[in-house]
């Protein structure tokens, strides 16, 4: 039996769907039903139930608007740093292998090859980098699992959320048997606050940049594959190979949904309340471990195709009769 924490969230529900599809028996835990954030509760639970694996998909990202209140900081610290640290201790004491959902937002930038040298560029919204990416995307290399986070409380500036995510990785490292799965801007066709596409669709304006992305369903499968093939424990960047500019993503979205925000150059942006992370991750460790992930371009195209079909079906739905409306001719 597998225990799933944070089962009511965007990522947690995707894990639940995939575990069910694979025929694994699992117990989805939510804080409302069982307060797994308490050491004594979780310890007794794991000691009694003896799960073969635990997935931690719990966390707190704030309200996505960029403004972080003191109260939200406390929640972030508790959910993103203290909770994983506590889970790591409980799992070590009960000898439970586990996987933790982390985030690529502990990095900023990418390694860029220019004039025969490779340098870390931290601000991927700069026009000359966007131009270089358009003409030579192969010049951009992502951070690997061996690179220390460069957007954390130890490598300021960072935002508070990223700082807490990096703290968690430090606390978990070398404690017991754990996977740290780093996602980056997860997306799919489901309308959710945590879905990057849903967030973009709600905006009037977005600023251009370059990023790695995780097709959430692909990435959840990859996380479970790692455990099923008994890949070595440790950190894995779980992003679809490749990277994409915001402009490219939004233009594709516009083509499919005929409505999308305006994309502005990053230099037009007022300084955000907190620094933002935009980065490229290298997922080759995952591929070397034997877990395949579709290239980002294919995953994004597939997702947009599904969104298109869903939006067409919604448009042809007659809300009065609650039956599909006749096809327009
Ligand atoms: N969405 C993203 O853009 C993204 C990107 C990279 C990484 N991640 C990571 O993936 C994990 C899940 O993210 P998500 O998008 O699924 O978030 P979500 O939809 O907000 O779900 C997170 C879940 O965490 C649980 N939780 C535990 N302590 C909490 C607290 N103090 N405050 C609020 N929720 C708490 C809640 O589940 P219960 O109430 O059921 O226990 C909640 O439903 C997080 O660790 C997040 O940092 C997300």
Residue 238 Cα distances to 145, 191, 282, angstroms: 11, 21, 9
Asked if the model's pLDDT at residue 327 lies above 50, the reply is no
**3-state DSSP assignment of residue 55:** strand
Superfamily of domain 2-316: NAD(P)-binding Rossmann-like Domain (3.40.50.720)
Q: Count CA atoms within 13 Å of residue 26 on its CB side.
A: 25
Which residues, 6+ apart, have CB-to-CB distance to 159 below 8 Å? 68, 105, 151, 274, 275, 276, 277
Which residue among 30, 33, 60, 103 has the greatest number of ligand 1 atoms within 8 angstroms of its CB, and so is best to mutate? 60
Q: What is the mean pLDDT of residues 219-235?
A: 98
* 210-211/244-245 β-pairing: antiparallel
- What per-residue confidence (pLDDT) applies to 280? 98
pLDDT at 316: 56
The neighbouring-strand residues paired with 239 are none
Please determine, for residue 271, whether its predicted confidence score (pLDDT) is greater than 80.
Answer: no
Backbone dihedral region for residue 68 (phi beyond 0: left; psi -120 to 50: alpha; all else: beta):
beta
CB 194 near ligand 1, within 6 Å:
yes
Which band of pLDDT confidence, cut at 50, 70 and 90, is reported for residue 319? very low
User: How confident is the model at residue 328, as a pLDDT?
Assistant: 30
Q: Please determine, for residue 322, whether its predicted confidence score (pLDDT) is greater than 80.
A: no
Q: Is the CB of 28 under 6 A from ligand 1?
A: no
Average pLDDT score over residue span 143-148:
98
| Residue 133 burial by Cβ neighbours in a 10 Å radius (0-12, 13-18, 19+) | buried
Write down the pLDDT at residue 321: 46
Encode pLDDT of 126-136 as tens digits. 999 999 999 99
Hey, which of 4, 7, 8, 9 would you mutate to test ligand 1's pocket, going by the most ligand atoms within 8 Å of its Cβ?
A: 9
Between 317 and 176, residue with greater pLDDT: 176
Compute the distance between CA of residue 323 and CA of residue 329 in angstroms, rounded to an integer. 18
Which pLDDT value is given to residue 63? 76
| pLDDT above 60: residue 58 | yes
Mean pLDDT of 154-163: 96
Q: Respond yes or no on whether the N-terminal peptide bond of residue 157 is cis (omega within 30° of 0).
A: yes
Contact, 192 vs 10, CB < 8 A?
yes
pTM for this entry: 0.94
Pocket test for ligand 1, best of 13, 194, 219, 281 (most atoms within 8 A of CB): 194
Residue 144 has pLDDT above 70, yes or no: yes
Q: Given the CA of residue 196, which atom of ligand 1 is nearest to it? A: 3
pLDDT at position 108 over 70: yes
**What are phi and psi for residue 131, nearest 5 degrees?**
-65, -45
Q: In b/e form, how buried is each residue of 13-47, taking b as 16+ CB within 10 angstroms? A: bbbbebbeeeeeebebbbeeeeebbeeeebbebbe
Closest CA to 123 of 53, 207, 2: 207
CA 247-251-253 angle, 5° bins? 115
For the chain, the structural domain boundaries read 2-316
Percent of the chain with pLDDT over 70: 94
Tell me what pLDDT residue 260 has.
Answer: 85
151 lines ligand 1 (CB under 6 A): no
Ligand 1 midpoint to CA 327 (Å): 40
Residue 314 binned pLDDT confidence (cut-offs 50, 70, 90): low
**pLDDT at residue 324 is higher than 50:** no
Radius of gyration of the chain (CA): 20
**What is the model's pLDDT at position 315?**
65
CA nearest ligand 1 atom 42, residue: 9
Taking residues 5-18, report their average pLDDT: 97
Please state, in angstroms and rounded to a whole number, the distance separating the CA atoms of residues 15 and 216: 9
Give the mean model confidence (pLDDT) for residues 50-64: 93
* Mean pLDDT confidence for 102-129: 96
Averaged confidence pLDDT in the chain: 92
N-terminal to C-terminal alpha carbon distance within the chain: 53
Residue 65 pLDDT level (bands cut at 50, 70, 90): low
pLDDT score of 267: 78
């Amino acid at each position: 039996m597998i225990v799933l924490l944070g089962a009511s969230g965007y990522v947690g529900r995707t894990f639940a769907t995939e575990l069910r599809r694979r025929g694994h028996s699992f117990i989805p835990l939510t804080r409302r039903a069982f307060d797994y954030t308490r050491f004594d509760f979780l310890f007794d639970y794991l000691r009694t139930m003896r799960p073969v694996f635990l997935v931690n998909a719990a966390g707190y990202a704030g309200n996505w608007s960029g403004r972080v209140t003191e109260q939200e900081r406390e929640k972030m610290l508790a959910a993103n740093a203290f909770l994983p640290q506590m889970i790591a201790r409980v799992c070590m004491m009960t000898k439970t292998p586990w996987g933790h959902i982390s985030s690529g937002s502990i990095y900023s930038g990418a390694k860029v090859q220019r004039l025969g040298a490779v340098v870390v560029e931290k601000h991927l919204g700069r026009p000359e980098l966007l131009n270089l990416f358009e003409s030579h995307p192969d010049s951009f290399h992502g951070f690997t699992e061996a690179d220390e986070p460069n957007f954390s409380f130890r490598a300021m500036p960072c935002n508070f959320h990223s700082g807490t995510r990096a703290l968690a990785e430090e606390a978990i490292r070398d404690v017991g048997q754990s996977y740290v799965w780093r996602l980056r801007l997860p997306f799919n066709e489901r309308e959710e606050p945590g879905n990057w596409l849903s967030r973009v669709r709600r905006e009037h304006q977005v600023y251009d940049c370059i990023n790695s992305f995780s097709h959430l369903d692909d990435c959840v499968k990859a996380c479970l594959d790692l455990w099923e093939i008994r890949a070595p424990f440790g950190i894995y960047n779980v992003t679809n190979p490749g990277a994409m500019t915001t402009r490219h993503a939004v233009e594709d979205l516009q083509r499919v949904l005929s409505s999308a925000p305006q994309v502005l150059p990053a230099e037009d942006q007022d300084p955000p309340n907190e620094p933002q992370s935009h980065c490229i991750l290298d997922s080759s460790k995952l591929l070397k471990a034997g877990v395949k992930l579709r290239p980002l371009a294919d995953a994004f195209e597939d997702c947009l195709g599904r969104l298109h079909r869903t939006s067409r079906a919604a448009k042809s739905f007659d809300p009065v009769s609650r039956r599909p409306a006749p096809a327009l001719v």
